[in-house]
């Protein structure tokens, strides 16, 4: 189990695939570098493939502490990263998400697939329900999330979400700008994330 640290930790959700084109991996590297440059810790899903591996490798290469959390069943399937500061192995996906949240004071979604979407919406729902007050960021590189943002505007227009919920999501196109906007809430967060 990780020891408490005075340094903030940001949880990054992102694809286990690299995507089509080099730009997605490049932005994952930039995010890892930006986390390290701020002296923060990275918490993520523990894989060494796709954007997951890229963000972890970049953070490690620039001196950041990196904690991966992975279910035992996915150790082989996702090719667990063996060079991390710490690799936490849990039994279920539910335990994985809860442990990642417990270790973090902020959450960022990079481009990814259905797992990334599910993690983003779950941690966003937890904030809406008051289980945490940590910042949530969306890295909208090259318009990746434009369709999602348009759909979210539609959900507000049709009365199923509201502006206060949307205000909980910080959206930027640049990793450094996104982290800078999240920095103050992360630094001032003293509570411990707990699911009831």
Select from 109, 82, 134 the least CA-distant residue to 24: 109
Question: Is it the case that residue 113 has pLDDT exceeding 80?
Answer: yes
Which helix (H) or strand (E) element contains residue 99? helix 93-102
What average pLDDT does this structure show over 71-77? 85
- Domain hosting residue 113, numbered range: 9-185
Instruction: Give residue-wise pLDDT tens across range 153-182.
Output: 999 999 999 999 999 999 999 999 999 999
What is the C-alpha separation between 160 and 7, in angstroms, rounded?
37
pTM (2 decimals)?
0.92
| Token pair for 89 | 């192995």
Neighbours of 105 (CB within 10 A): 27
Q: Is 86 within the bounds of a domain? A: yes
C-alpha torsion sign, points 125, 2, 115, 31: positive
The β-bridge relationship of strands 41-44 and 169-172 is unpaired
Select from 35, 167, 180 the least CA-distant residue to 104: 35
Q: Is 190 within the bounds of a domain? A: no
Q: Is 113 within the bounds of a domain? A: yes
Q: Is 25 within the bounds of a domain? A: yes
Give me the pLDDT at residue 145, please: 98
Select from 172, 177, 169 the least CA-distant residue to 37: 177
Task: Tell me the pLDDT band of 185, cut-offs 50, 70 and 90.
Answer: confident
Per the structure, how many domains does the chain have? 1
**CATH code where residue 120 lies:** 3.40.50.450
- 3 state DSSP class of 19: coil
């Amino acid at each position: 189990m990780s020891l408490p640290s005075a340094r903030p930790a940001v949880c990054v959700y992102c694809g286990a695939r690299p995507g089509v084109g080099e730009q997605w991996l490049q932005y994952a590297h930039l995010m890892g570098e930006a986390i390290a440059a701020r002296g923060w810790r990275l918490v993520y899903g523990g894989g060494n493939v796709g954007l997951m591996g890229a963000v972890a490798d970049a953070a490690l290469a620039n001196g950041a502490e990196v904690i991966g959390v992975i279910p035992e069943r996915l150790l082989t399937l996702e090719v667990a990263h063996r060079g991390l500061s710490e690799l936490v192995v849990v039994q279920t996906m539910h335990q994985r998400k809860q442990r990642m949240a417990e270790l973090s004071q902020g959450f960022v979604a990079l481009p990814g697939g259905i797992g990334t979407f599910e993690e983003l919406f779950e941690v966003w729902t937890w904030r809406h329900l008051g289980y945490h007050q940590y910042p949530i960021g969306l890295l909208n590189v090259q318009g990746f999330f434009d369709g999602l943002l348009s759909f979210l505007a539609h959900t507000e227009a049709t009365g199923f979400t509201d502006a206060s919920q949307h205000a909980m999501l910080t959206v930027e196109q640049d990793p450094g700008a996104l982290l800078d906007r999240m920095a103050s809430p992360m630094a001032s967060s003293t509570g411990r994330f707990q699911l009831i």
